[in-house]
Amino acid sequence: MTDQERSWAFLSLGTWAVVGLETPAPVISDEVYEARYGNEGGAEGRNILASNITGLRIVQQCREKWMKEDGGDLPWDGVVRGCLEAPRFGSLIKVDDPVFAAVHPDMPRVIAESCARKGITPPSGRGETARCIYESLALKFRRRLEQLEAFSGKRIELLHMVGGGTQNSSLCQWTADATGVPVVAGPVETTVAGNLIMQLKGTGEIGGLKDGREIIARSSETRSHIPRDSAEWDEAYAKYRELFG
């Protein structure tokens, strides 16, 4: 079975994150509305059931604060390296809390205060702060996929992660681990690729969306991430649901 034949969802990950899947028709219910999902028109008459949440904006603001403290640049691989050296599941935050969508001059302090309000030990230092954000994102993605399955009646067998955030291979792996769903990460420049294949369809050079997606799959660099460490992530997710519902 090819990736296109499997039941899949998508996660576009950048400053903001969009999680969703294609459905034959709009999915409308009180539960969908209360969970803050929307229905959008997609290519070839398809419907996209999706939710927008705060993505890497939180760690981006932390990095800005840290660079000001250092008086220079802080490469992203340095942020990720520090994160990998920190203890697992030390702190958690609700990434879509409105407080994290605002601009803050000291986002690490906002994170620490959010943890304290929930009775969670705040992260100590940059590595623990970054790990808190990334692990909390992965657990939020799991919650969103569970909701998509419930709303659509479809079992998600594959998650396509696209956008600039997929350059963080650790976060892609943690997303696979947290959700229990295999992840295909890439391409990075998804908007450009999507625009191109719709122009090719418009000029008659390809037959449709299916052909375009096959071209993108053959032409793009992608990475596969198979779920692992499920017991640890299940335990962390139970804690996450207890804290944030």
- pLDDT beneath 50, residues of the chain: 1
The pLDDT of residue 2: 52
Provide CB contacts within 8 A for 120, sequence distance 6+: 91, 92, 243
The pLDDT of residue 3: 54
The pLDDT of residue 193: 87
pLDDT tens track for 18-50:
999 999 999 999 999 999 999 999 989 999 999
The pLDDT of residue 132: 98
Provide CB contacts within 8 A for 109, sequence distance 6+: none
Cα–Cα distance between 174 and 91 in angstroms, integer?
A: 15
Q: In terms of Cα–Cα distance, which of 221, 213, 214 is closest to 194?
A: 213
CA 16-19-20 angle, 5° bins: 145
The pLDDT of residue 118: 95
Q: In terms of Cα–Cα distance, which of 89, 101, 96 is closest to 143?
A: 96
Tokens representing 187 are 């391409």
pTM: 0.94
pLDDT tens track for 175-205:
999 999 999 999 998 888 888 899 999 999 9
| Helices and strands (H, E) in the chain, number of each type | 9, 7
Residue listed under structure tokens 């001059």: 105
